Chains A and B, each alone.
Chain A
């Protein structure tokens, strides 16, 4: 029901940074009213487990377009929409790595 993951990469910077932790849930209640701006963790066949924000939803087709906030993000602009079945969870808690503290 709940899943804790560590963020790597920087396509959601500056809000999400390398080393942050996120708690995601797959409880249906939370997935019922997905809206643009929500952050999802999902599985992609080529890229593995990804974290992106919802850009837009097309409920009739069950399509969810996800994007990063960084111009070089690899997301739906490259691999197309995802579906609910791909979703590992919606981020309900974001634990930021203390900023200004160097990693390693």
Chain B
């Protein structure tokens, strides 16, 4: 009874929250997972474009390969978004966000690009997705006091990624 009343009031006024904060305190956060996932999206778009140019004779073979590429593209676009959200939501703390006031806008941009690369097969958007996540990775390493470098990934599509100088 009292609970129902408080619940209703909470929905109207929104009480402050006390967090019984809980996670596995492993502290393992690394943006490389999101960077590789974004790179995979570009790679899938390249494979899709190649397949379109060099269609196999059997239509069923074409559909099969195309479906597989699209499935991986979908999965990795979501994975990249998820990994970024975890670092943004769990790792970044208020003090760091004060130092990087653009981080929220950048994360939002990554989320939007991540959806767009699923909706389309536009390579340029996918490259922007990789680049936005690179910028996020750079902020992440800076918060840890680790310098970064840019280097071409040693595998296709060989785009530049931000790597930590460890």
Q: List A residues at the B interface (Cβ < 8 Å).
A: 3-13, 16, 18, 21-22, 24, 41, 45-52, 68, 70, 72-75, 78, 88, 95-98
Are B17 and A7 closer than 8 Å at their CB atoms?
yes
Nearest residue in B to A101 (C-beta to C-beta)?
A: B3
Q: Is B55 an interface residue (CB 8 A)?
A: no
Give the total of B residues in contact with A, Cβ under 8 Å: 19
**Apart from A9-B19, A45-B94, A72-B23: 19 A-B pairs, beta carbons within 8 A:** A3-B16, A4-B15, A5-B18, A6-B18, A7-B17, A7-B19, A11-B20, A11-B21, A18-B20, A21-B3, A21-B6, A21-B10, A49-B16, A49-B17, A50-B20, A68-B22, A70-B22, A95-B2, A97-B7
Q: List which B6-52 residues lie within 8 A (CB) of chain A.
A: 6-7, 10, 15-25
Are B3 and A68 closer than 8 Å at their CB atoms?
no
**Contact residue among A5, A52, A74 (Cβ-Cβ distance under 8 Å from B15):** A5
**Contact residue among A21, A48, A96 (Cβ-Cβ distance under 8 Å from B19):** A48
Q: Is B93 an interface residue (CB 8 A)?
A: yes
Given the complex, which residues of A lie within 8 Å of B10, measured CB to CB?
Answer: 6, 21
Are A52 and B20 closer than 8 Å at their CB atoms?
yes
Are B20 and A6 closer than 8 Å at their CB atoms?
no
**Contact residue among A6, A12, A46, A75 (Cβ-Cβ distance under 8 Å from B17):** A6
Given the complex, which residues of B lie within 8 Å of A21, measured CB to CB?
Answer: 3, 6, 10, 15
Given contacts A5-B16, A5-B17, contact A10 B3 (CB under 8 A): no
Given the complex, which residues of B lie within 8 Å of A13, measured CB to CB?
Answer: 20
Are A12 and B20 closer than 8 Å at their CB atoms?
yes
Are A10 and B23 closer than 8 Å at their CB atoms?
no
* Complex: A7 Cα to B20 Cα, angstroms: 7
Are A95 and B6 closer than 8 Å at their CB atoms?
yes
Are A7 and B18 closer than 8 Å at their CB atoms?
yes
**Contact residue among B2, B15, B22, B93 (Cβ-Cβ distance under 8 Å from A46):** B93
Given the complex, which residues of B lie within 8 Å of A9, measured CB to CB?
Answer: 19-22
